[in-house]
Structure 1
Amino acid sequence: MAFKMSAGECSVQIEDLPPVQERFFNRELSWLAFNRRVLAEAVNPDYPLLERLRFLSISGSNLDEFMMVRVAGIAAQVRRQIDELSIDGKTPQQQLGALLDAVKDLIDSQQDVLADLKDELAEAGIRIIDNDALNKGEAEWLRDYFEEHVVPVLTPQAIDPAHPFPFIANQGTGILFQLQRTADGAAVTEMILIPPALPRFVRLPGPKASWVGIEELVRRHATLLFPGFKILGDGTFRVLRDSDIEIEEDAEDLVRYFRTAIQRRRRGKVILLHLQENFDADAEKLLRQQLRLDHALVIKSRGLLAISGLSAVIEEDRQDLKFDPYNPRYPERILEHDGDCFSAIREKDLVIHHPYESFEVVIDFLRQAAADPDVVAIKQTLYRAGKQSAVIAALIAAAEAGKSVTAVVELKARFDEEQNLMWAAQLERAGVQVIYGFVDWKTHAKVSMVVRREGGGYRTYCHFGTGNYHPVTARIYTDLSFFTADPRMGRDAGQLFNFVTGYVEPKHTELLAISPINLRERLYECIEREVMLAKKGRPAMIWAKLNQLTDPDLIDRLYLASMAGVEIRLVVRGICCLKPGVPGLSETIEVKSIIGRFLEHSRIWAFGNGANLPNKRARVFISSADGMSRNMGRRVEVLVPVKNPTVHDQILDQVMLANLLDTEQSWELGPDGEYERFEKGDPSFNLHGYFMTNPSLSGRGAALSKGRKVPKLALRRGAANRG
């Protein structure tokens, strides 16, 4: 569809832009570039050693999920001979070939980083045992541990015509042993699958930390498993399977469907066979045949398989090798009201900046609603709530207190489906009305709505979040929690819940934009307005903070805005398919990515509205949605306008500006797709450090005028615009 700016302000149309190969980066390769930035933090000398090991582990778990979902999806397209082109015009076959090389290179880099970290950790008193020699005491302890705790749960299985090849579960690790029977010299192949119940790493006792991987422990003591055999060789392997769940639109019972689908996931097609370097050629051939590899990747690498398991070592009690502990602040605004959330929100809108401000505010909001006799109804969306969820407990307490409680539980939250099914069952038993939403759309909006009896009528209090109702991730994800008692917001939130629970599509909303109804159109209208201002010679600016930017239509509109002279600055943590700084296409667009101690997760849009950003009349929004096609067309999301002046200043002049000013954790994206780490500069600026040491504006209340002033951030304008 061609796109023209209003009133002929811009003659360029989308169809006039360069071909897709010239204006978009490949989505999958962009994700791998993101994970490389995560891996780069594992060699960051500014971080303590165990935190560097944590980043290495995260890069491993990230890569596992990428393989099980994204690469698996492309491989499925190849198998089914689907020729759907990627955003940059590549066929599935072309993408799969490029990904094999890139994934292999990334795994090699992970092993290089691990080798260096092992040396540094050993110097610091933490040993990760590989082929290391053990002293007599260590060897005896490990042998005893193996016999008492490991042998009882292992099941060696011969691989021959009399024994069917065992099923290897998703993320399963096994060891193939080539043996020779001493009695008659016969060759025997045996497989041992590592049960998931066993710890990934075992710590030897003593003040000096020594950790051994479970597969290394088994290999070292294999003679105890195979008496009467000579061990000729062994090789460790790992399997990843397709773990995506395809939704059938005609599913009659979503709960039953997902319970079945979760079981199918464990038996999905193999997408990666990861082998230890020097894996026996005959054994590899056996695995290839038995696993029926079909467009799966087979990768050999040195070092440790399942690198995500290093998270166990990070639990070592060595605070000197970790970040200094950080305790989030509780907003003074609410304390000024004696902890009464409703009173504080009633006074004026409030935004909480996690993890710098405590997620307990959100929990207290719901707990207070559950205990308050004047609260008559609570409506809540639940996308990811975690394993130990105080949110679930509050909703159950409210239902048991006789309040009307509705919970929209999203069964399609990837890898949380099983947990969400469990929560749904508990909620239903307590009397909560549980809704599963749409079959083909995920309900990704983060909304809580409390209806309270006040002054002869009812008042609605709302919470809108950019992150999940998950107490654990709220300690490491940077997100915004917006509280309001604005009646317009309450009416819009009511329409949102009616849309999800009863398929009653809102015909008009007063403030909120909701996808897939009108969120995309609201963003386009804001972009178009900036273009019109630029054409009139007035300042025209767009700032945005997102996790991903992949929607081609949205990107094209940003290109058209750039071509019209709009200055655009984007903070995109992960995948970015937009090419910045391309002459004649995106000369006024800059893109940066921030990777640091906390995971940048909040989504913010700001439009200059006729003046340079930041300014008082800028149009500012927070959202649950990323710049992806699925968020704007296949998910229920919200775009929330910020009207309160103090909240407006905090989000624009504090949160957004700090992201743009950061130099210590930032990477700049070039027009060639390469990311270059910012030079720290003099002075340097660390946004995480800034927020850990400076309270937010909105949460301070009266203390803002009495106490220590929050340092005002300022943007130095120039060609580089690096603050």
Structure 2
Amino acid sequence: MAQIFDAPSKAILRSQIAEHIAETDKSDKRETLSGEQPLPPDRFFDRELSWLKFNKRVLELAQDEDIPIIERATFAAIFASNLDEFFMVRVAGLKRRIDTGIAVTSPSGLSPRQQMRAISEQAHRLQDEHAHYVVDHILPDLAKENIKLLGWDKLTIAEQERLSKYFRQQVFPVLTPLAVDPAHPFPYISGNSINLAVLVENPASGKSHFARVKIPDNINRLVPVDDMTEDEADEVRYGFITMENLIIAHLESLFPGMIIKEARSFRVTRNEDIEVEEDDAENLLNAIEKELLRRRFGPPIRLEISDETSPFLSQLLADQMGVTPEEVYRLPAPLDATVLFELGGIDRPDLKFRPFVPTTNRQIAQVESSRAQDIFAAIRERDILLHHPYDSFSTSVQAFLAQAAADPKVLAIKQTLYRTSSNSPIIDALIDAAHAGKQVLALVELKARFDEDANIAWARKLERAGVHVVYGIVGPTTPQPSAHQPERPRSPADHTNGTTRPNPPPATRTPRANPH
């Protein structure tokens, strides 16, 4: 029978656990031997600060002028995406440990609060450097190549008319402005969404009101400006306006009769780390699914606002979001540089890396033939070491599994799945093998950062096909996986009190012909 603790008891329990951890941490430290110099206390790099240094190197790639400009823009987008995940997981987890009181000094010697202060200082400096570099260098360098991010006032009358028609037909129907008044509380702001904070004034009463407009996330944020290329011009020109600037130019249609006093973009990052007590969860898959629903409503841990936002509006947003001054990041627009990923679709190969085409490992396909390679025959001859991405994945691992699924001599396939793409052929091969009557086991890593939804969807599909799916969470303590039992008979060796606890297989445990 489970024991239930009330709130005071929980606080006492947390305090006792923290004391125990601290004492255990002290007792685990080795005493210095006679004549031996003590190890320096700063001998370890801090895990979180080291990660920020890694992302700094990503930013340096965006700043490398020897790299083609569209690729530099992509690196700037990668930096932003990386930092988002860092806040959603690592900063969120650190903040949660501070709030619970169960937090001990890290191996680097920093307390959680010292870590948080150092992270805040470095993250502010890095994000400010990144945002200004995008505005002051990336965008101007793109403009030199006739790829321009334009403001509404820089468009011609014809271009404005064309975009106004696009706004009325495609954008206006999906917008839902929400005003804040005594009858309407401050709206929920979803994590990582771009929003407009709008101050409007009623000309009749003279009263000001706050409203929020969410930028739709089901439409490209960079809206192409047509007819940028002149008929006589030799070079193709690409012009774009951000969705938020297009909406700002048409706010009067959203707030008819009101005076638009201010409209600025802002963005909130929330705690999206998953907390699962896997040892206690009877059904790990259901527990993860519940956590995914809860994750959408995690507490805010970062507020990004346009650096042109007035002090009044800035304070209003910070107060309503419940963030501290250290968690507010004032940055030049456009916020969320992941929008630069959209430039990758521009047809300018001269501004990108040369395409890389992986080759088929010569030991798998030694001779040219119209027939598919026989990988089993190749590995009977010798061991084959694959180097990805230089060796093609599709003609090696993927082809190997497809051949194993079709080979009647293969009796079992065991596979570990961490991150799966939306159109994973590996999954298809496992399903084909199960349909062919083979024993198929897949260890699915559920807590694969922000790929949980895709992994769960594939896992469900595998189960329906008759695959024995084992769910696990890989973490610092490497917990044992927990099984969701498929509806088909299994051997007694598969069971331990209703829970499967096999040793996790390696990244790819490949089948052999005629296995014993």
* Contact 2:285–2:456 (CA under 8 A) maintained in structure 1: yes
| One of 385, 393, 414 as aligned partner of 1:351 | 385
Corresponding position of 1:600: none
Displacement after TM superposition at 1:638 (Å)? 5.4
Secondary structure of 2:154 counterpart: coil
The answer on 1:176 being equivalent to 2:197 is yes
Q: Render the CA deviation track for 1:623-654: whole Å, top value 9, x for unaligned.
A: xxxxxxxxxxxxx58599xxxxxxxxxxxxxx
1:611 alignment counterpart: none
Decide which of 177, 180, 193 is 1:159's aligned counterpart. Answer: 180
Pairwise CA distance, 1:437:
3.6
- The answer to whether the aligner puts 1:66 opposite 2:101 as a matched pair is no
Alignment match of 2:470 (pick from 432, 435, 439): 435
1:91 aligns with 2:111: yes
Q: Give 3-state SS (helix, strand or coil) of 1:188's partner.
A: strand
Partner SS, residue 333 of structure 1: coil
Provide the rounded CA distance (Å) in 2 between the counterparts of 1:89 and 1:405: 46
Query: SS at the partner of 2:387?
Result: strand
| Counterpart residue number, 1:374 | 409
1:300 lines up with 2:321 in the alignment: no
Equivalence map 1:185-264=2 (5 Å): 185-206=206-227, 207-248=236-277, 249-264=279-294
Q: 1:284 to 1:496 in 2, by over 3 A?
A: farther
For residues 339 and 191 of structure 1, do their structure 2 counterparts lie closer, same or farther at Cα, with a shift above 3 Å needed?
Answer: same
Secondary structure of 2:97 counterpart: helix
SS at match of 2:59: helix
Is the 1:379–1:407 Cα contact (8 Å) retained in structure 2? yes
Distance 1:18 1:101 in 2: 28
Q: Does 1:137 align with 2:129?
A: no
For residue 501 of structure 2, the aligned residue among 500, 503, 512 is 503
1:40/1:418 Cα in 2 relative to 1: closer, same or farther (>3 Å)?
A: same
Q: 2:423 aligns with which of 377, 388, 400?
A: 388
Structure 2: any 5+ residue segments left out of the alignment? 1-27, 228-235, 482-492, 509-516
Question: Aligned partners of 2:162 and 2:393: how far apart in 1?
Answer: 44
Equivalent in the alignment of 2:23: none
Structure 1 residue 227: deviation in Å? 1.6
User: C-alpha separation between the residues in 2 aligned to 1:296 and 1:416?
Assistant: 30
Q: Say whether residues 1:267 and 2:300 are aligned partners.
A: no
SS at match of 1:335: coil
- Structure 1 residues 387, 12: CA separation in 2 closer, same or farther (over 3 Å shift)? farther
Q: Which amino acid aligns with 1:197?
A: N
Partner Cα separation in structure 2 for residue 444 and residue 332 of structure 1:
39
Q: Could you tell me how far apart the structure 1 residues matched to 2:146 and 2:51 are?
A: 35
Q: Give 1:285 shift.
A: 2.6
Read off the aligned partner of 2:148 and give its amino acid letter: R
SS in structure 1 opposite 2:431?
A: helix
Alignment of 1:97-112 (within 5 A): 97-112=117-132
Within 5 A, what are the aligned runs for 1:635-714?
Answer: none
In structure 2, what is the equivalent of residue 549 of structure 1? none
Give, as a single letter, the amino acid of the residue that structure 2 aligns with 1:212. I
Tell me the amino acid that sits aligned with residue 393 of structure 1.
D
Residue 132 of structure 1, CA deviation: 5.6
Paired residues of 2:307 and 2:331 also in contact (CA < 8 A): yes
TM-score with structure 2 length normalisation? 0.82
Give the fraction of aligned pairs with identical amino acids, expressed as a percent.
Answer: 40
Does 49-58 or 244-253 show the bigger shift?
244-253
- Displacement of 1:112 in angstroms is 2.4
Q: Per-residue deviation at 1:162?
A: 0.9
The match for 1:489 is: none
1:328 to 358, 361, 365: 358
Residue 182 of structure 2 corresponds to residue 148 of structure 1: no
Closer/same/farther in 2, CA of residues 637 and 401 from structure 1, 3 Å limit:
closer
Structure 1 residues 165, 298: CA separation in 2 closer, same or farther (over 3 Å shift)? same
* Cα distance in 2, alignment partners of residues 496 and 126 from structure 1: 59
2:390 aligned partner, one-letter code: Y
Structure 1 CA distance for aligned equivalents of residues 295 and 314 of structure 2: 24
SS of 1:436's partner is strand
Measured in 2, the distance between the counterparts of 1:502 and 1:438 equals 14
Report the CA distance between 1:164 and its aligned residue.
2.0
For residues 439 and 351 of structure 1, what CA distance do their matches in structure 2 show? 26
Give aligned pairs, total: 452
Structure 1 position 270, deviation (Å): 0.4
Distance 1:154 1:639 in 2: 45
Report the Cα distance in structure 2 between the residues aligned to 1:497 and 1:327, rounded to whole angstroms.
45
- 2:343 aligned residue: 313
Question: Match of 1:508?
Answer: none
Match of 2:139 in 1: 118
Of the candidates 52, 64, 83, which is equivalent to residue 72 of structure 2? 52
Aligned-residue offset at 1:443: 8.2
Residues 484-511 of structure 1: CA distance to partner in whole angstroms, max 9, x if unpaired?
xxxxxxxxxxx9999xx84356xxxxxx
Matches of 2:113 and 2:30 in 1, distance apart? 32
* Contact 2:178–2:213 (8 Å) recurs in 1: yes
Change (3 A) 1:130 1:72: farther
Q: Is the 8 A contact 1:410 1:442 kept in 2?
A: no
Q: Deviation of residue 16 (structure 1)?
A: 5.1
Query: 1:322: Cα distance to partner?
Result: 0.5
Label 1:438 to 1:111 Cα distance change in 2 as closer, same or farther (>3 A). closer
The AA in structure 1 aligned to 2:139 is K
Q: Deviations over 1:436-467 (max 9, x none)?
A: 1469766899xxxxxxxxxxxxxxxxxxxxxx
Classify 1:346/1:132 alpha carbon distance in 2 versus 1 (closer, same or farther; 3 Å).
Answer: farther
Residue 560 of structure 1: aligned partner: none
In 1: Cα distance, 2:94 partner to 2:472 partner:
28
Contact 2:414 2:505 survives alignment (8 Å): no
Q: What displacement does 1:134 show?
A: 0.9
Counterpart position of 2:321: 291
| 1:410 counterpart residue number | 445
Deviation at 1:295, TM superposition (A): 8.7
Q: Is the 8 A contact 1:408 1:434 kept in 2?
A: yes
**Paired position in structure 2 for 1:78:** 98
- Deviation of 1:292 after TM superposition, in Å, equals 2.6
3-state secondary structure, aligned to 1:308: helix
In structure 2, the partner of 1:565 is none
Whether the 8 Å CA contact 2:417–2:445 is kept in 1: the answer is yes
1:94: Cα distance to partner?
1.5
Decide whether aligned partners of structure 1 residues 443 and 393 sit closer, same or farther in structure 2, where only a CA change above 3 A counts.
farther
Q: Which residue of 1 aligns with 2:46?
A: 26
Q: Are 1:279 and 2:309 an aligned pair?
A: yes
Q: C-alpha displacement at 1:52, in angstroms?
A: 0.6
Q: How far off is 1:411 after superposition?
A: 1.1
Secondary structure of 1:53's counterpart equals: helix
Residue 398 (1) aligns with residue 428 (2): no
State the shift of 1:121 in Å: 0.8
Look up the equivalent residue of 1:217 and give its one-letter code.
L
Q: Secondary structure at the match of 2:385?
A: strand
Indicate how the Cα distance of structure 1 residues 373 and 639 shifts in structure 2: closer, same or farther if over 3 A, else same: closer
Partner of 2:149: 128
Residue 296 of structure 1: CA displacement?
Answer: 6.8
Deviation at 1:357, TM superposition (A): 1.1
Q: Does the CA contact (< 8 Å) of 1:444 and 1:637 recur in 2?
A: no
Contact 2:200 2:258 in 1 (8 A): yes
Change (3 A) 1:322 1:202: same
Aligned equivalents of 2:81, 2:310: Cα separation in 1: 27
Task: Look up the match of 2:485.
Answer: none
Quick check: 2:472–2:480 contact (8 Å CA) kept in 1? Answer: no
Q: CA deviation at 1:401?
A: 1.2
For 2:442 and 2:336, how far apart are their aligned partners in 1? Answer: 37
Quick one: distance in 2 between partners of 1:380 and 1:253? 21
- Provide the rounded CA distance (Å) in 2 between the counterparts of 1:444 and 1:83: 24
